[in-house]
Chain A
Amino acid sequence: MDLLGFLSIGFATALSWSNILVCFAGVFLGTVIGVLPGLGPTATVSLLLPLTFTMNPASAVILMAGIYYGSQYGGSLTSILVRIPGESASVVTCIDGYEMAKRGRAGAALGIAAFGSFIAGIVVTIALFFVGPVLARFALRFGPPEYAALVLLGLLLVTQVSQTSCLNSLIMACLGLLLSTVGVDRIHGDQRFTFGLIGLFNGFNVAVLCMGLFAIAELLTSAEGRENTPKPVAQPRRLREMLPNREEWRRSTLPITRGTALGFLLGILPGGGATIASFAAYVMERRISKHPERFGQGAIEGVAGPESANNAAAQASFIPLLSLGIPANAVLAVVLASLLVQGVLPGPTLMTKSPDLFFGVIISMLVGNVILVVLNVPLISVFVLLLRVPISILSPLIIVFCVIGAYSLDNSSADVLMMVGLGLAGYLMRKVDLDPAPLVLAFVLGQIFETALQQSLLVGRGSLGVFLDRPIAAFLIGCSVCLIVFQAGGAILARARAAAGRGSRNESQPMRRFSRPPP
């Protein structure tokens, strides 16, 4: 069968009334759970798993896919409005999205997040249709050494996700790395920093970390009721004025394009995912921006890039799932399970054996994205009203959802306690001007890095040469080395210039900050 045939089967499946309805239910539910902090797609799809036993497999995947990428849409909402990430993939959106809201551009931030996600969703769907399965095969070349090298590169950029000084970011990143070692070691099975407490065996959950360090800490800070309390800025009242204006669109075009490409590539790597994609997009935008100083001060690029990237990655991750049977995360593991229960075996033959499923799911993403935009954009004016809800009413509600959310992750009350503890820690961090964003990124990367490094060394029978033998890994290691050389070189150059009495340039800013004596 040719592509045109597949296309018509895809459309026929996705555009049947029942599947449109299922898709609508999925994305609507996804948006709602994305908005509620803590209640994530994992808990939702596991609750729905028994329901899918009796559904048509294509409809089941369309429903679960809708929930997953719908939650990426919804996650940005609370990040932007109240600085509380609804999902770990929306942590970076807090940085500039919230600043925009403080400056009266909440609607624009929400708008660009929705449109960025929409554009990313449509482009990725089309790309998946044509090159997805081929790329997924290629992505298999990513073994443990390649992951370790990729994540190493990411770790070098970790200081870029914070507004505080470079030293502060490094402190937080180190703390994040340390926290990522808590729990039972994945390779050797030893207990580390568990103190024999069963609640710590699993280590920290990234969602618990985010809820504690961002949501609970934010609420504690606002409970002080002093100058820190966000003053609701007058937001424009008409929807048209709320939406991104021409200037904002102009600045967002390239970030959306780049975010889409990055999210697509990271999403198609088995094991990649929306969280890393969103961080990577933010760092990239900041690195290549001509005005990096605007980041953290409400730069729309810092919302457009990551929000496009996380949606692109969420959709792209269905390709390794369907064409190879490799789930990228816990949500997709449940989707895989629902397929297995139906007797559908994902793999290279799925495309020809059940084209209605494979292409129906891809085409349904077009439908889902259209529904999401139609659903979300007119509601922006309603969402913005949330800013006017008094914090005394909003806070208890958010806390309730966080507690439910933390418990629902693993049905463990230890997670709830950890969230509260991390919330107190996050509050203290705020008091001393430490930003938790680098901590979260280092935590996510640290877990992947350690496991991948140990696996690489096992693959290489103990030799580090394994990183140089494999071309992709060697290339990535080379990038890291270049980055260090350029950073250090830039800093030395800047110092020499400063000594010569001339001003230094923006590129060397992080290192210059690093060398600044503490106040």
Chain B
Amino acid sequence: MWRRVILSLLGLCVLWATGVAAQGYPTKPIQMIVAFPAGGNTDLMARALAPGLGKELGQPIVIVNKGGVGGVVGSTDLARSRPDGYTIMLSPNSPLTILPHQQKLTYTLDSFRFVCLTYDNPFVLAAGPQAPFKTFAEFVTFAKAKPNNVAYASGGPGSMPHLLFLDIFRQIGAEGVHIPFTGAGPQVQAILGGTVQVMIDSPATVSSNNLPLLAVFAAKRLASMPNVPTMQELGLDLKAFSAGGLIVPAGTPDAVVATLDRACVKATESEGYLGTLAKLKAAARHLPADRFRELFVEDSARNYETIRRAGMLPKP
């Protein structure tokens, strides 16, 4: 009996080995990790991309939400995954370019290979309906009137909006009170109820409820909100970057990355993808691996500076 068990195990090993060596990636469904809960911004970007990408690759893409701690849980999982191209992740910049500076994590930017950038989803600064300011200039005057005059919401300490607020307040020479919330829903509730006066989130989130929009963090004005000025126009030196794309574990073979990127180019140009992103007021954008990586490295350096200045580096 034992002989049979061992033989069948050996047989399985052989099968498995041939599976690994098999050419013509992909030969089975691909798992796409999203390090945020279903229904969030990143999840929607992933779900918009997945059908087109799957069609190009000839294999279904299965989205797996592994939310938690601003993306740490899912990113750690990807870094530990087998680098064979069957586990990929659609990630925004924050889990890779912010969190490693703040927490002791088992991954860095170098734990991943970059495949392609797929979207640009710039942040917007919005004010509450009861806030005593409707423009950025009025906001600055109000914030400088006395210290801690403004309460601002964010999705948690060290989140991108939190860092942006720190930078805004430093540049306009004022101080505000940071009130963190979990997720976009509670922030919208807080801004409508007057608990906070300002928040920063994606265009889709801040567009409901007719909130006054003060500024966008983008190089040029958004087509969906042409009346909202950019931060540069308002005289602030803020190069906020909020975009995302496909990444795979470091060590993934070149051929696999090339296959993925070819599919990625086609998928980001597909009508379904463009339509869905337009409705979400995000921009579809394709960038190849090297430019994609460059942007993340730049962003990482910028965020390190903000975090260091705010004294939020992890204690040694």
Q: Determine how close the nearest CB of chain B comes to the CB of A48; give it in whole angstroms.
A: 10
In-complex Cβ contact of A341 among B44, B185, B189 (8 A): B44
Interface-side segment among B9-17, B190-198, B230-238, B297-305: B190-198
A264 to B: closest C-beta gap in Å: 19
Q: Which of B22-30, B132-140, B202-210, B256-264 contacts A (4 or more CB under 8 A)?
A: B202-210
Task: Return chain B residues, CB-CB under 8 Å to A333.
Answer: 37-40, 183, 185
Q: Is the beta-carbon distance between B73 and A202 smaller than 8 angstroms?
A: yes
In angstroms, how far is the closest chain A Cβ from the Cβ of B83? 19
CB distance from A406 to the nearest CB of B (A): 14
Q: Mark B249-280, 1 if CB is under 8 A from A, else 0.
A: 00000000000000000000000000010011
Q: A345 to B76, alpha carbons, bound, how many Å? A: 34
Contact A49–B195 (Cβ < 8 Å): no
From A337, A340, A412, contact of B38 by CB (8 A): A337
Question: Would B65 and A410 count as touching, CB distance under 8 A?
Answer: yes
Are B192 and A324 in touch, CB under 8 angstroms?
A: yes
B72: Cβ under 8 A from any A Cβ:
yes
- Please determine whether B48 and A140 come into contact, CB atoms closer than 8 angstroms: no
Give chain A residues whose Cβ lies under 8 Å from the Cβ of B188: 324-326
Query: Please, which residues of chain B bring their CB within 8 A of the CB of A186?
Result: 156, 180, 182
Chain B positions within 8 Å of A271 at CB level: 186, 189
Tell whether A201 is near chain B: CB-to-CB under 8 Å: yes
Residue of B nearest to A50 (CB): B47
Contact A347 B68 (CB under 8 A): no
Q: Are A340 and B44 in contact (CB under 8 A)?
A: yes
Q: Mark B191-226, 1 if CB is under 8 A from A, else 0.
A: 011110000000011011110000000000000000
B73 & A412 in contact (Cβ 8 Å cutoff): yes
CB of B16 to closest CB in A, whole Å: 21
A189 is an interface residue with CB less than 8 A from chain B: yes
Contact status A189-B102, CB under 8 Å:
yes
Q: Is the CB of A143 within 8 A of B192?
A: no
Q: Could you say which residues of chain B place their CB within 8 Å of the CB of A458?
A: 151, 177-179
Residue of A with least CB distance to B190: A143
A198 contacts B40, C-beta separation under 8 Å = no
**Chain A residues within 8 Å of B208, by CB:** 324-325, 345-347
Contacts of B182 in A (CB 8 A): 186, 451
The answer to whether B73 and A198 touch across the interface, beta carbons within 8 angstroms, is yes
B195 touches A143 (CB 8 A): yes
For the complex, is B43 an interface residue (Cβ under 8 Å from A)? yes
- Is A348 in the interface zone, CB < 8 Å from B? yes
B174 to chain A, nearest CB (A): 15
Interchain nearest-CB distance for A358 vs B (Å): 13
A451→B155 CA distance, assembly (Å) = 13
Q: B185 to A143, Cβ gap below 8 A?
A: no
- For B68, give its contact among A140, A201, A459 (CB under 8 Å): A201
In the assembled complex, A336 has its CB within 8 A of some CB on chain B? yes
Supply 22 A–B pairs (Cβ within 8 Å), ascending by A. A46-B39, A50-B51, A140-B193, A184-B69, A186-B182, A187-B180, A198-B72, A198-B76, A201-B68, A202-B69, A270-B186, A271-B189, A324-B192, A330-B38, A333-B37, A337-B38, A337-B43, A338-B39, A345-B207, A346-B208, A411-B65, A459-B151
